Structure 1
Amino acid sequence: MDRPKATPLVALSVALALCAATAVEAEGLPAVDFEVLADARLSVVSGEQSWFDDWLGKLRYGGDRGGEGQGRFRLAELSLMARSDITWDLQAFVHAKFDPEQDKPADLVEAFLHYKPVPTSSVQYEARAGLLFPHISRENIGAAWTSPFTITPSAINSWVGEEIRALALEGKATLRLENQKLSLTAAVFGFNDPAGSLLAIRGWALGDYKTGAFSQVPLAPVPSIQPGGFLEDQPLWVHPVRELDGRPGFYASLDWDYAKRVKLGAFYYDNRGDPETFKHNQYAWDTRFWNFYAEVEAPAGIKIMSQFMTGNTMMGTLYDGMRMVDADFTAGYVMATRKLGPHRISLRRDWFDVDDNTFVSQDNNNEVGTAWTLAFNAKVGKKANLIAEFLHVDSNRPAREGIWRDAEQDQTQLQVSYRQRF
């Protein structure tokens, strides 16, 4: 198995050592601010096994092999974030995490420079360079790319956390008018060629897992990727943050904010993957999508949030004018959330589907599903939150029949998360 030559522990150690070195109290050297987020998790889940258990379940945690409920208490995440103001205009940011479910228990999530000079006119410019999440998620706005609304993000933002990461050079310009802001963002990026693998082979899922830069995530042993199968060269894992074809991708977005009461935006992503490239035991996937969002401050202190994503992913050589895999994907959610003093309650409805366009008889990637999520986030300390969440998901994926399960499955999950920042 061909793996990255640099281990995550080495890369993580180097990144943190560089940050720590700048903290030495010497004239002219910037200080570093460190923050730690610990997330202890109690979960009770019924239904099929999780996709982390090499299955096709839709949640981070799942039932046992018989579909019976399971309870778990574990450390879900331990994140370390380091920020350093190198100059007034330039900041360095590093986010690393320890996660016992991760292929590499300690790994790097983000590491980038952020340049944001003081505006001298109605137009403000800024730039980011490094390993980063594109600004897609409207939910994951908390420390360590967490959501203050729920434990589990929507299907859209769960997938962003799993597969969308880029080594990017990003620029942003914001025009400020009276009561309005209009922003244009554009970037070129690499190291995201396998993105799309999970969506096609596993389908959508809902979970708060963030794939580390050097880590792999598992794929269920469906017949198409078994020896003699339609895609037998595909191993039972995918490494999303990887450069395979040497072709840069790009993304761009347009955002509008009216008096902080109405926010609208559109985002386009294209990794420009060469679908015929196979390298390091990984296919390059040609993945592109649109993401639209709307946020409205409604009466009675209720905030309405929604995202809609639609796109396509394909890979492999051409057969009779068709790629080995060619799948359209769509997902969306609507969430209502309201603050109750220092606390918050949120209700979300998800829907998602995948439409397989090729060779369905050999490799059926069709899928349709819905989910309900209800969460209450209680502030229990200056830097501590206790979140209780109920999540129920129904989905139909014919590929389950290839691993001796019914195509139609449902899962119910109860979780309690204790998040403590230091």
Structure 2
Amino acid sequence: MRKTLAILLFAVATTAGAQSFQLHGFVSAREIYVSSQPSWLQGGAGRFDVGADTVDDHKLVSMYNAQVGFDWTPMSWFLVHADGVARRQQSGHVGGKRIGLVQAYADVFNDHFRLRAGEFWLPTSRENTDPLWTSKYTITYSALNSWMAQEVRPIGADLQWSPSFYVTVGATAFRGNDTMGTLLAGRGWTFGNYLAAYNENLPTPEPELTRPFGEDLDGKNGYAERVRISLPERAMLQVTHIDNRATISPVKVKDEEPWATRFNIVGLEIGSTAPITVAGEWMRGSTEVGFPGGSFTMDFDTAYLLGSYKYAHERFSGRIERFATNNASHPATDLAREHGHAITVAWMHETNPRSRAGLEYCRVSGDRPGLAPAFDPRTGGSTITAEYRYSF
């Protein structure tokens, strides 16, 4: 992956003067008042990207972030894209990367077909629809898309066919995502905007480290399929199925635990370009891991509904959601069980096309009784976030 990116960057540097080349990105600063136990990113069990010292404590945290990407189109039917992230995290961050690659892919396309190869986001999210997989609606993403940002990003090839303005179908073959489900099973659903980078190690509360995107573990392809029905600029409905087809093992493989994870996503959006937008997604699936003498399967489920109103330079958005996990065998004492809900309200002010200021409140209710004794099962909490973002 690094060699591929270096070749792409060299090609851009030597030909950008004569070709279509666009550089885009943003820098942001956030002040977050958090009431929650230490974050999962600190090796704790808190559901946010930041946390306080204890479950009953609160803290003011400063965060800085930058995302930069480029699009190079040397020919009308060929595009190369890459983007990455640089960030300053809260002290105590376990594992992780301050600078990392998020996407790197090439497209070959015409009016009806598009073939994409590399590492890329699947086009499922109805809230992360702005460039660089960001949201125009909220600062904190839903539980569904927070997890997608951490553990679901194919490294492979995607073929998309659009026979008309109203129908799009796509299929993806991918590798390098065999640990998908590790974070979700280890610490449950979380809320934030952390984009895991390629070959990055992230913590679980055991404590262990997992690498969501990197070397393939079993030499098998995972697959994804999707169908989208659209009324251009008015509404869309999409159904997606994803299965990493990982081969579970009673022992670690290349120092990682393979998790066989499969799930479906149904996404809906109404008023795509109107002042009032309503969007939602529902995800349901399971993830399975092996251990000496058997295996463990966890079911998971989450859904959110988002409404947004845009007027002049102001945007007001609200989101409600629920989330759950449970042991698929339904034992009397279910250590994997969690049921919770969350509410998020946000105001965005666009000073000009390049500047955005935002204020957001997010509250999560939910416990995880099956955490190890060293962790407090009260994993909910709240954040108040003020953000300024400058785009280029």
TM-score of the alignment, normalized to the shorter chain, above 0.5: yes
Aligned with 1:53 (options 42, 47, 58): 42
Q: Choose which of 11, 27, 40 in structure 2 pairs with 1:38.
A: 27
Percent of counterpart pairs with the same letter?
24
Count of residues paired in the alignment? 384
1:246 aligns to 2:204 (yes or no): no
C-alpha distance in 2 between matches for 1:417 and 1:328: 35
Q: Aligned match of 2:167 in 182, 185, 190?
A: 182
Cα offsets for 1:48-93 (capped at 9, x unmatched): 1111111111111112235311001221x21110110021011100
1:172 touches 1:183 (CA, 8 Å); kept in 2?
yes
Q: Which residue of 1 aligns with 2:278?
A: 304
- The answer for the alignment partner of 1:115 in structure 2 is 108
Residue identity in the other structure for 1:411: G
Aligned residue in 2 for 1:351: 322
1:198 aligns with 2:183: yes
Segment drifting more, 254-263 vs 11-20: 11-20
Q: In 1, distance between residues paired with 2:240 and 2:161? A: 15
Partner of residue 417, structure 1: 387
Q: Structure 1 pair 203/404, CA: closer, same or farther in 2 (3 Å)?
A: closer
TM-score normalised by L of structure 1: 0.86
Deviations 1:132-184 (A, max 9, x none): 111121111112211010001110000000000111211111122xxx51110
132, 146, 154: which one pairs with 1:144? 132
Corresponding residue SS for 2:145: helix
In structure 1, the partner of 2:340 is 369
Q: State the partner residue of 1:131.
A: 119
Partner of 1:230: none
| Cα distance between partner residues in 1 of 2:318 and 2:27 | 25
Q: CA deviation at 1:419?
A: 1.3
Q: 1:237 to 1:360 in 2, by over 3 A?
A: farther
Unpaired runs of 5+ in structure 2? 90-94
Give the CA deviation at 1:301.
4.1
Partner of 1:282: 256
1:157 aligns with 2:134: no
Partner of 2:92: none
Could you report, residue by residue, the CA deviation over 1:258-285 in whole angstroms, capped at 9, with x for unpaired residues? Answer: 2432211100000000011732210111
SS in 1 for 2:88: coil
In 2: Cα distance, 1:18 partner to 1:132 partner: 20
Output the CA distance in 1 between the equivalents of 2:203 and 2:129: 27
What is the CA–CA distance in structure 1 between the aligned matches of 2:181 and 2:42, rounded to whole Å? 20
**1:200-219 map, 5 Å:** 200-219=185-204
Could you list the per-position Cα deviations for residues 285-343 of structure 1 after superposition, in whole angstroms to 9, with x for gaps in the alignment?
A: 10000000111239x94221110000000011473xx51x2100000001111111132
> 1:72 and 1:404, CA in 2 relative to 1: closer, same or farther beyond 3 A?
closer
Contact 1:372 1:391 in 2 (8 A): yes
Q: Structure 1 residues 307, 404: CA separation in 2 closer, same or farther (over 3 Å shift)?
A: closer
1:93 aligns with 2:81: yes
Which amino acid in 2 is paired with 1:408? R
In structure 2, the residue matched to 1:83 is: 71
For residues 262 and 238 of structure 1, what CA distance do their matches in structure 2 show? 38
The alignment partner of 1:279 has SS state of coil
C-alpha contact (below 8 Å) 1:20/1:32 kept by paired residues: no
Could you tell me how far apart the structure 2 residues matched to 1:259 and 1:363 are?
Answer: 45
Give 1:357 deviation, angstroms.
2.8
Distance 1:92 1:52 in 2: 32
Query: Retained in 2: the 8 A contact 1:183–1:254?
Result: yes
Structure 1 residues 125, 35: CA separation in 2 closer, same or farther (over 3 Å shift)?
A: same
> What TM-score comes out, normalization by structure 2 length?
0.92
Gaps in structure 1 of 5+ consecutive residues: 1-5, 223-235
The answer on whether the counterparts of 2:347 and 2:360 sit within 8 Å (CA) in structure 1 is yes
Match of 2:166, SS state, is strand
Q: What residue number does 2:290 align with?
A: 316
Instruction: Give 1:360 deviation, angstroms.
Output: 6.3
User: Structure 1 segments of 4 or more deviating over 4 A?
Assistant: 10-15, 358-363
CA contact (8 A) 2:44 2:375 kept: no
Code of the residue aligned with 1:246 in structure 2: it is G
> Hey, what does 2:206 align to over in structure 1?
221
CA deviation map 1:344-399 (0-9, x unaligned): 11100010000113596998221111100001111012211111110000111012
Per the alignment, do residues 401 and 188 of structure 1 end up closer, same or farther by CA in structure 2, a change over 3 Å counting? closer
Give the structure 2 partner of residue 104 of structure 1.
97
Contact conserved, 2:236 with 2:268, CA < 8 A, in 1?
yes
Q: Please report the RMSD computed on the Cα atoms of aligned residues, expressed in angstroms.
A: 2.2
